[in-house]
Chain A
């Protein structure tokens, strides 16, 4: 039996990574380089999907309370990663878009 708490943590980590990836990708100025890397974000998303399947109840959306808690943790992780970069001088990062992106990914993952 796999530890559900750990699976949830890993799931949160991967979704947060996917959110950060999408925002950083949009922050890259060179369009020609940017377009090639869209598929890279899928890596974190696909891993998140794998862990989502291991969580109960499989196939159905998670209970609202659990879902809200997961989203809050994803947002916290993602925003912290983004703020760390902004502090180092990274420009063009749209932190405000994190919520919408997280919502979109969680909807796809039925979480």
Chain B
């Protein structure tokens, strides 16, 4: 007799079970220890990692699971999930030509995590990378199902940058009511836009370095831990915001003159 049986897992009231026929190999007798493993194994995808550094083993498993359980043309896992530690709220997943809802459900059921799905085509992805500093920052490190060639050709769309910067406008006014993470996100948003206007690629490392340069050594940690002093921080913040805003308005004005001339 063959020492292998294919059986189905059934739901029980207190425990789930697998039923075995009485007539079976002696190696599968009562009291014997056996291994329960999936009979059908999905094809394992080898993720492509870009600038991801060390990934915690549990995260690598989650990535493997997400990439192996979708028929999408490509899946890109990016954002704070790939940063060191477990301070992420959700997993940013870009789905290229595929069903995002299915992935969202899978992530929640399989791992108990929330997925933030962005459905797009490759054209929109390239357009986003070329024009959106926040997109550039999110995609400064990622894991994907298929390899992607990042050929960034920065194009400054001042109206888009204005839209993004607006989010960061009210940080000084509501300083006491925001937690550290919120303050950091708004500051990071503004600085990413600043770097982009200056012709620099917005990566998380460069943004953090610029925050430290403007607000002092250790500023990233202080902001995140919500221990940064209000007065000097908001004064500097307003100054930086004003400069970035004026640069954007200057860009819009210049573009308008260019059209008229």
Contacts of A17 in B (CB 8 A): 166-167, 169-170
Q: Which residues of A contact B166 (CB under 8 A)?
A: 17, 20-21, 24, 44
Find chain A residues with CB under 8 A from B163 CB: 21, 24-25, 28, 37, 40
**Which residue of the partner chain A has the closest CB to B162?**
A24
A25 to B167, CA, bound (A): 13
Number of residue pairs A-B, CB distance < 8 angstroms = 76
Q: Is the CB of B255 within 8 A of A89?
A: yes
> Given A24-B162, A40-B167, A85-B162, A10 and B131 touching (CB < 8 A)?
no
Q: Is the interface of A mostly helix, strand, loop or mixed?
A: helix
Q: Tell me the residues in window 6-44 of chain A with beta carbons closer than 8 Å to chain B beta carbons.
A: 9-10, 13-14, 17, 20-21, 24-25, 27-28, 30, 32-33, 36-37, 40, 43-44
| Residues 179-217 (chain B) with a chain A CB within 8 angstroms | none
- By the criterion CB–CB under 8 Å, are A9 and B173 in contact? yes
Whether B170 contacts A27 by the Cβ 8 Å rule is no
Q: Is the CB of A90 within 8 A of B252?
A: yes
Question: Which single residue of chain A is at the shortest CB-CB distance from B255?
Answer: A89
Residue of A nearest to B258 (CB): A89
Contact of A56 with B by CB under 8 A = no
Q: How many residues of A are counted as interface, with CB atoms below 8 angstroms from the partner's CB atoms?
A: 28
Most buried by A among B166, B249, B252, B255: B166
In the assembled complex, how far is the CB of residue B153 from the closest CB belonging to chain A, in whole angstroms?
A: 15
- Is B257 at the interface (CB under 8 A from chain A)? yes
Q: Which of B159, B164, B169, B250 contacts A40 (CB 8 A)?
A: B164
Find out whether the CB atom of A85 lies under 8 angstroms from the CB atom of B174: no
Q: Is the CB of A90 within 8 A of B159?
A: yes
Question: Which residues of chain B have a CB within 8 Å of any CB of chain A?
Answer: 118, 120, 123-124, 127-128, 131-132, 157, 159-160, 162-164, 166-167, 169-170, 173-174, 177, 249-250, 252-253, 255-257
The 4 closest A-B pairs by CB, nearest first: A89-B256, A88-B249, A88-B253, A89-B253
Q: List 21 A-B contacts (CB under 8 A).
A: A9-B173, A10-B173, A17-B166, A17-B167, A21-B166, A24-B159, A28-B160, A30-B127, A32-B124, A33-B160, A36-B124, A36-B128, A40-B164, A51-B174, A51-B177, A84-B249, A85-B162, A88-B252, A89-B253, A89-B255, A91-B256
